[in-house]
Structure 1
Amino acid sequence: MNLMSIQSHVAYGHVGNSSAVFPLQRLGVEVWPIHTVQFSNHTGYGAWRGQVFDAGGIGQIIEGISDGGWLGACDGVLSGYMGSAEIGAAILDAVARVRAANPAADYCCDPVIGDVGRGVFVRPGIPEFMRDAAVPAADVLTPNQFELELLSGIAVATHADAGRACDLLHARGPKVVLVTSLHGAETPADSLDLLASGPDGRFLLRTPRLDISLNGAGDAIAALFFLHLKRSGSTAAALSAAGSAIFGLLKRTHDAGSRELLLVAAQEEFVRPSHVFTPQAI
């Protein structure tokens, strides 16, 4: 399988492509990474150096892949943080070109906008671009709870609320929606809920909550869920595989007291998770 991943990249640490590419490779995927930025480290450290690439750079890379005659071998496109609406438009153009070359290719959009407690942290225009352009173009969407609420216009306090929000998003394009974090009244304080909604049903996965908050975990779970969905065709199976792997990764990272995801040290979790969690149909 060949997947194109269009995201940010850091030399030190793991966010964007630095978080998504290796787990996919470890599971046997040929990944074609296209970087939207290249920084020394993620911006959570407060200081960094590097370069933001313009939208034209993405187009040039796609053009080169097309010139080589390889676009038709791409099975899907994954995108994450978009630095501007112009970069977003270039990503959607890349998706359109891949689909034209391979109609079976899918697009997985991680609609990075903000988070509970932090609010919107992307540039002006990005939330609107996600809502009006990226969501309708996506086959698979992987919002967190904050992004689910913003994109659907529904306040999510219960699993039923989350289901209604997913239905609204389904009606606008995405066949499958993975909600990567739910903190509603039905979720115990010591647990974390993930919800996946697809044509084969709606499923809830509950894992223990770890006292850890790290950059890059969302990028990794979006990549893993997309891959397992492509391979299995099952929303429940993809949720179990991705959720179990990410829990194992986070537990290893938590136990080590690391500020960065231990992607390499914990790589066996992607292949054979230490704890396998079974989703429940809801």
Structure 2
Amino acid sequence: MNILSIQSHVTYGHVGNSAAVFPLQRAGHEVWPIHTVNFSNHTGYGDWGGPMIPGTEVTSIVDGIEKRGAFPKIDAILSGYQGGSDIAGAIVDAVRRIKAVNGNALYACDPVMGNAKSGCFVSDEIPPLLRDKVVPVADIITPNQFELGYLTEHETGTLEQTLEAVKVAQEIGPRTVLVTSVNRPETPEDSIEMLAVDGDRAFIVATPRLPFKRNGSGDVTAALFTGHYAKTRDAKAALKATASSVWDLLNVTYEAESDELCLIAAQDYFEHPQLQFSVTDVEDL
């Protein structure tokens, strides 16, 4: 699979393309990264150096890729943290142009906005752009439970509410929705779940909850799910492989007491997921 990944880049640590590219490569995919910011580190540290990349420069890179005749080779487009408000237009333009040449290319949008603990941490301009401009052209979106509620303006406290919010999201555009960091009343305190909905089929997987959080884990999740789904077009299999690899990555990071994701130490789990967690059809719950 050839995957064009349009998202942030950091030099120190692993978020955005710095979290997505290597796992995808170890999973066997060719990845063409375009950066939307070029920061020293993720913004969670409170300070950072480096610029946001203007949307015109993103488009200029896309233009260069087009001149190489590469659009027909692209199997999937992935976007994540957008940086400036002009990036949405650059992404939508790239998707439109690539799909005009290659109708089989998938577009996966990770609508990065925030989380339940921190709230929304992007500019106030970004969520409306994601909802009204970017998500409608996506085939796949990979929000966490908080972002799904924010996008759809629906409650997501129960499984039923989350599924209803997914239906609203599908009406906006994407057929396939991966919801990460799912919590519901039935979820054991020592577990956390992911939900994948593909058309009218829904699947859920639970993994042990580790007592910490690291920036970039959602970026790895979105990337691996996109890669697996683009290759197999099987949401259940993609969910199973993604949950396995991401949990092992987080476990390695936790055991190392590392402030950043241990992508290198966990790299074999991207190529060979252990598939140790069962995926359940939601209708069987």
Q: TM-score range by the shorter chain?
A: over 0.9
Aligned 8 A contact 2:148 2:165 in 1 = yes
Structural mapping, 1:1-282, within 5 Å = 1-199=1-199, 201-274=201-274, 276-282=276-282
SS of 2:206's equivalent in the other structure is strand
Unaligned residue ranges in structure 2 (runs of 5+): none
Distance 1:212 1:254 in 2: 7
SS of 2:149's equivalent in the other structure is helix
Aligned 8 A contact 1:138 1:174 in 2 = yes
Aligned 8 A contact 2:52 2:84 in 1 = no
Q: What is the TM-score when the length of structure 1 is the normalising length? A: 0.98
Residue 199 of structure 1, CA deviation: 2.3
| Percent pairwise identity | 48
Distance 2:200 2:227 in 1: 17
Distance 1:200 1:131 in 2: 21
Distance 2:241 2:123 in 1: 33
Question: C-alpha offsets along residues 164-189 of structure 1, whole Å, 9 cap, x if unaligned?
Answer: 11111111210100001112212111
Residue 156 of structure 1, CA deviation: 1.1
Aligned length: 282
Aligned 8 A contact 1:248 1:275 in 2 = no
Question: C-alpha offsets along residues 44-74 of structure 1, whole Å, 9 cap, x if unaligned?
Answer: 1222111111010011001111111111111
Aligned 8 A contact 2:71 2:102 in 1 = yes
Q: What is the TM-score when the length of structure 2 is the normalising length? A: 0.97
Distance 1:64 1:272 in 2: 34
Q: Which runs of 4+ in 1 moved over 4 A?
A: none
Aligned 8 A contact 1:7 1:82 in 2 = yes
Unaligned residue ranges in structure 1 (runs of 5+): none
Aligned 8 A contact 2:241 2:275 in 1 = no
